[in-house]
Amino acid sequence: MTVILDGKKLRDELLDELKNKLSSYNVIPKLVVILVGENPASRIYVNNKKKTAEKLGINSEVIVYPADISEKELLAKIEELNVDNSVNAILVQLPLPAHIDKSKVINAISPLKDVDGFTPENSGKLLAGENPYVYPCTPKGILLLLDKYGIEVDGKHVVIVGRSNIVGKPLAVMLLNRNATVTVCHSHTKNLSEITKTADILISAVGEKLIEDNMVKMNCVIVDVGIFKDINGKTRGDVDFEKVYEKTSYISPVPGGVGPMTIASLMLNTVELFDLQTKRSCD
């Protein structure tokens, strides 16, 4: 019998625990999100983050800039936030306009305030097998979901479809650090279905309908990270859920699977950074 990996339920459990923890704090953690331009999807994501933070008792500020802001001005604002002791976590919502160098912006964020876990220092720690200050939100959410349902990754063959810096690459390293055998596939991979059929755990993070029932083996665990609107306006994931469902032991839905866990991880990371900064200031 197939089990649904319910990200909404776990998110609610984790956020309830976090809210109770925060109720005992004398100082409220602060998350600052920078939004550049008027990308509708980004606006929705940012508003959801702000609402979730406020429900928990986290101080959340959204700074909105026009799409034509200069790179210099944006970098100056990040430096200002870096030295502001009242700010514990900084997030720059992606994508950014073409004239702004994304790498420069990410690299400018203090690693101790890097709530996404994308800075070179945090990425380097992860690659070296050390603990970064925080783990990237979506990969962290995926592993929390697998852990909640008792899905062991040690010794399992995990196939990841997608090699982004946000999901695929950090997730591959996090799984390797847990002794999984990891294969990463991407747009240049030949015979994709032959590889995905060998997966004990299949994780797809592409953003288009890709994984069909003939691409998975029986009792595979599937985590669907992709999300997009089909021609009828329905929210879908990478996996053909209806066809693949019967072949899986566990499967995450879209929506309601990984998405809620990403938001939960962002809130967890904000509080973890606050705790770390507080501890350092007391040492």
Both tokens of 170, joined, read 């950090």
Residues of each annotated binding site:
162-164, 227
Q: Which of 49, 77, 113, 140 is catalytic?
A: 49
Which pLDDT belongs to residue 280? 82
- Residue 17 CA to residue 65 CA, distance in Å, equals 34
Place of tokens 């999807």: 41
Is residue 171 a contact partner of residue 159, using CB atoms and an 8 Å limit? no
Q: Which of 93, 113, 114, 238 is catalytic?
A: 93
Residues of each annotated binding site for NADP(+):
162-164, 227
Which pLDDT belongs to residue 40? 83
7 Cβ neighbours under 8 A, 6+ residues apart: 141, 145, 252, 256, 257, 258, 259, 260, 261
Which pLDDT belongs to residue 283? 66
Q: Which of 6, 30, 77, 116 is catalytic?
A: 116
Mean pLDDT per 10-residue interval, the chain, length 283 residues: 97 97 96 93 89 95 96 98 98 95 97 98 96 98 98 98 97 98 97 98 96 97 94 92 96 96 97 95 74
Q: Cis omega (within 30 of 0) on the bond before 95?
A: yes
- Residue 227 CA to residue 58 CA, distance in Å, equals 27
Which pLDDT belongs to residue 261? 97
Assign residue 57 a region (left: φ > 0; alpha: ψ between -120 and 50; beta: otherwise): left
User: Under DSSP, is residue 67 helix (H, G, I), strand (E, B) or coil?
Assistant: coil
Q: Is 277 a catalytic residue?
A: no
Q: What is the pLDDT of residues 8-65, one digit of tens each?
A: 999 999 999 999 999 999 999 999 999 999 888 888 889 999 999 999 999 999 999 9
Which pLDDT belongs to residue 130? 95
Is residue 264 a contact partner of residue 17, using CB atoms and an 8 Å limit? no
